[in-house]
């Protein structure tokens, strides 16, 4: 398992969250990043933000 640490900042709150992803997801993102010449860290951050939007009702 791999962890993504992200700090959520809104007008009212600042929270730190840790999201754990299955290794298969991380490996797939790494492969896509290499194939498309994209930044892996940015892709991981996008995954974390989208997850939080869907599951924690954050208005980011």
| 8-46 pLDDT tens trace | 666 666 777 777 778 888 888 889 999 999 998 888 888
Residue 10's pLDDT is 63
With residue 46 as reference, give the H or E element that holds it.
helix 40-55
Identify the residue with better confidence: 60 or 56: 56
Identify the residue with better confidence: 59 or 8: 8
Closest CA to 6 of 57, 38, 52: 52
* 60 within a domain of the structure (yes/no): no
* 30 within a domain of the structure (yes/no): yes
The predicted model scores a pTM of: 0.60
**Domain span at residue 18?**
2-55
* 23 within a domain of the structure (yes/no): yes
pLDDT at 6 over 90: no
Torsion on CA atoms 19, 20, 22, 28, rounded to nearest 10? 40
Number of domains in the chain: 1
How is residue 12 written in tokens?
A: 């009212």
């Amino acid at each position: 398992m791999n962890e993504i640490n992200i700090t959520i900042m809104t007008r009212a709150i600042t929270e730190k969250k840790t999201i754990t992803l299955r290794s298969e997801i991380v490996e797939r993102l790494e492969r896509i990043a290499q194939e498309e010449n994209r930044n892996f860290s940015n892709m991981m951050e996008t995954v974390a933000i989208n997850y939080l939007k869907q599951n924690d009702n954050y208005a980011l």
